[in-house]
Amino acid sequence: MGDLKNKVILIGGNHHNGLGLARSFGVNGIKPYGVIVGEGAEHGFVRKSKYWAKTWVIKSDNEIVEFLLNAFQNEKEKPVVIPYSDGAAEEIDLNLDRLKEHFLLPSIGGQQGKIAELMDKQKQVEFAQTYGIPMAKSCVVDLNDIRLPEDMIYPCIVKPVVSAEGEKSDIRKCDTETQTVAYLQELREKGYHRFLVQEYLIYDTEYLMVGSISGQNQCWFNSKKIRVWPVVGGSSSCLQVTSENSVQEFFDEVRNAFGRVGYDGIFDVEALRVGEKIYLNEINWRNSGTIYSVFGSKVYYPVNWYYWKTENQSPENFIRTCLDDTVYTMDESLDLRHVACGNITLRQWLNDKKKARAFAIWDATDLKPTMVQYFHLLKELIKRHGVKNG
């Protein structure tokens, strides 16, 4: 591994996504460089990992391009850039032409702005239709002229059109047209201009495919979401690798579609099972927040992508997929909230924790960020309880 000349640069916020990425490169003998974006990043837990070669902090996504060009302009070999937030992925893609002379980057067919375009949920609906991938009925509503299609199906879920444009906390389920219109008016007051309204599928199971693709090379694994937090529109908090055939087939179709549009990068794709049918929920054209699950599956998809981009041979022990459904992984800080809210018992949670092979924050080989973040979460918990009881 000593002959790897290209640096790898990870860009995103002070989020466990960045920590998991740094660890996945670090355990494979590659020390990444980190550009951590946003308020609180300077003293944040992500920078505390022992696996970084070096980290910098910048205030916002619109500083990314200049920072990269200034800090890495004299590299002999192009560094590989991996964004792990929507904002960073969008900013890099919108400046692809300036950056690609100096860096190896994710893109769709090498065309500037294509990933940013497909971050739009409405464009994802069109993408799914083009390639015959089933998806729930959706429409984008202009909040200055709120009109819902007459054939809209309720209940529905209301969410930002582009994740980078909104907060996850603004995702809401609405049961009737009246309720939907009232909530859309509320969102207009908050300063939003458009919002996505999508049929709320009453699903049996939620699935996730994470991986990377570059030309003919593909690397991925599929998981079943055991729990998410918050319960509506939330993030995965407990996962199990799945080998179900129907899930494999569905996600194979999605990856084929990625190949056909020329996507070159890392992906996170959510799907929902309703009875016998599987529907695409959404595509994130960036690294997944469930990156910690690579330590359970041993499918190091971001590291594989780095090897493909730099035209280096990946290590022989690197696997391309995992079908071992005894692999459970957990975002312990999110998942514990199910216990706090009485959704599951502490005993059940401890049993699940025992089964888990990897965690979002805990890592016995890299305890500094773990302790910093655990302490921070404990403080938050005490503060919240203080408010509640006060």
Cα-trace Rg, the chain: 21
Our separate counts of H helices and E strands in the chain read: 13, 16
Pairing of strands 328-330, 356-359: parallel
Tokens at 134, concatenated: 């089933």
pLDDT digits (tens, 9 = 90+) for 322-352: 999 999 999 999 999 999 899 999 999 999 9
Only one residue has tokens 């389920």, namely 173
Distance CA 163, CA 144 (A): 20
Specify the amino acid at residue 310. Answer: T
Q: By the 8 A CB rule, do 293 and 147 touch?
A: no
* Residue of 320, 323, 324 lying closest to 301 (CA atoms): 320
The overall average pLDDT reported for the chain is: 93
pTM: 0.91
pLDDT in tens, 133-161: 999 888 889 898 999 988 899 999 998 88
Give the tokens for residue 191. 């300063």
CA–CA distance, 37 with 11 (Å, rounded to integer):
7
Q: Which residues pair with 208 in a beta bridge?
A: 223, 270
CB contact set of 350 (below 8 Å; sequence gap of 6+): none
Question: Measured between alpha carbons, how far is 257 from 249 in angstroms, rounded to an integer?
Answer: 13
Residue 386 is predicted with a pLDDT of 55
**Eight-class DSSP state of 344:** S
Q: Where are the beta strands (DSSP E) in the chain?
A: 8-12, 33-37, 54-58, 80-83, 107-108, 138-142, 156-159, 172-174, 194-199, 205-214, 217-229, 235-241, 263-274, 277-284, 328-330, 356-359
Q: Among candidates 240, 362, 294, 211, which has minimal Cα distance to 24?
A: 294
* pLDDT per residue as tens digits for the range 24-41: 999 999 999 999 999 888
Q: Which of helix, strand or coil describes residue 194?
A: strand
Q: How do strand 263-274 and strand 107-108 relate by DSSP bridges?
A: antiparallel
What is the phi/psi pair of residue 121, to 5°?
Answer: -60, -35
212-222 confidence digits (pLDDT tens): 999 999 999 99
DSSP 324: -
Candidates 206, 251, 203, 204; CA nearest to 227 is 206
User: For 98-138, how does the pLDDT look when each residue is reduced to its tens digit (9 = 90+)?
Assistant: 999 999 999 999 999 999 999 988 899 999 999 999 998 88
Cβ within 8 Å of residue 72, ≥6 positions away: 7, 9, 79, 102, 103
